[in-house]
Amino acid sequence: MTEIDTRALRDAFGNFMTGVTVVTTRDASGNPVGFTANSFTSVSLDPPLLLVCPGKFLSSHDTFAGCTHFAVNVLADGQQGVSNTFASFKGDRFGRVAHRDGANGLPLIDGALAQFSCETHQALPAGDHTVLIGRVTEFTHIGGNGLGYVNGSYFSLGLEREMDAQVPTICGAIVAANGKVLLERHDGAFRPVQIAGAEPGGQRNRLAQGLSDRGIQAQIEQVYSSFNDAETNLHYTFFLASCRQTAQTDNAEWVDIGDLADLTYASKSLHHMMTRYALEAREGVFGLYLGDAERGEIHSFGKGAI
């Protein structure tokens, strides 16, 4: 494939939501090594098999491809820092992350939802990765919500379910493309694209249909903000969404992200949200805000490096 085809294929693969894991083992000198993976898959119950796929670009690839044992740690919501450490940090990763030794001395990450100690069953070359199949010899698991990953960003499975269970009077999207955001004009002020009447459990579908009805073909991503607005006495839930191009729409215009904080919005809450978005977009790291116009909490999901 051409380089353009490869990037397009990566984008297509990225639409598949996965859980995030850290795979660990020890090298020939007994030093712990690990990497972040979103390729964990259960294969068989009898015998108990699972697989992960270390990339050949990893400095630890040969260690994993030739190891006799390895462990898979399924990360919990809130462990995006652990994921980023094993995905991008080049120093002593295990010095930054709490862990303990499990079966066969394999490093197990503290706080992980599930931990599988494996004996290597088979290692198969597969293009630019190796398919590493392990036979589970020991495992533990606890209750909780997993850390998810899709379209290059983390998301919280628990918070997504919590947001989806609410009944937003208004749901909407901050639609971005090529460094611009699509804003509607309403009563002389700006606001992000809004859709009324979403039922619980159907916000994403209703929003996708509403955007499509307006000629906007967008990829809806994570929940970005959910808040009560005292000025309008309404509850809002906004998602992040992305377009490949800035198509023209009625009663809306594309605004440079750098100009968002200087505009007049339909309410103070919307102004706060769009100002925060402009700051976070500059860093490429987004969070979920829960609260109202005066007080709330930002749950950081981060930007992945998997």
Provide CB contacts within 8 A for 53, sequence distance 6+. Answer: 37, 39, 126, 129, 130, 131, 132
pLDDT recorded at residue 304:
40
pLDDT tens-place values along the chain, 306 residues long: 787 777 777 777 666 667 889 999 999 999 999 999 977 889 999 999 999 999 999 999 999 999 999 999 999 877 878 888 898 888 899 998 999 999 999 999 999 999 999 999 999 999 999 999 999 999 998 877 788 776 666 666 555 555 544 544 688 899 998 899 999 988 889 999 988 655 555 677 778 888 888 888 888 877 888 887 777 777 788 888 888 766 666 678 899 999 999 999 988 889 999 999 999 888 777 777 776 666 666 665 544 433
CA pair distance 34, 23, nearest whole angstrom: 5
Closest alpha carbon to 23 in 64, 62, 84: 64
CA pair distance 219, 196, nearest whole angstrom: 19
CA pair distance 232, 238, nearest whole angstrom: 16
Provide CB contacts within 8 A for 164, sequence distance 6+. Answer: 200, 201, 203, 204
Evaluate whether 123 touches 192 at the Cβ level (below 8 Å). no
Q: What residues form DSSP beta bridges with 136? A: 118
pLDDT recorded at residue 119:
97
How many residues are present in the chain?
306
Percentage helix, strand, coil for the chain under 3-state DSSP, each rounded to 5: 25, 45, 30
pLDDT recorded at residue 88:
80
Closest alpha carbon to 194 in 217, 215, 211: 211
CA pair distance 224, 41, nearest whole angstrom: 29
pTM for the whole structure: 0.56
* DSSP 8-state code for residue 84: H
CA pair distance 205, 207, nearest whole angstrom: 5
pLDDT recorded at residue 225:
86
pLDDT recorded at residue 305:
35
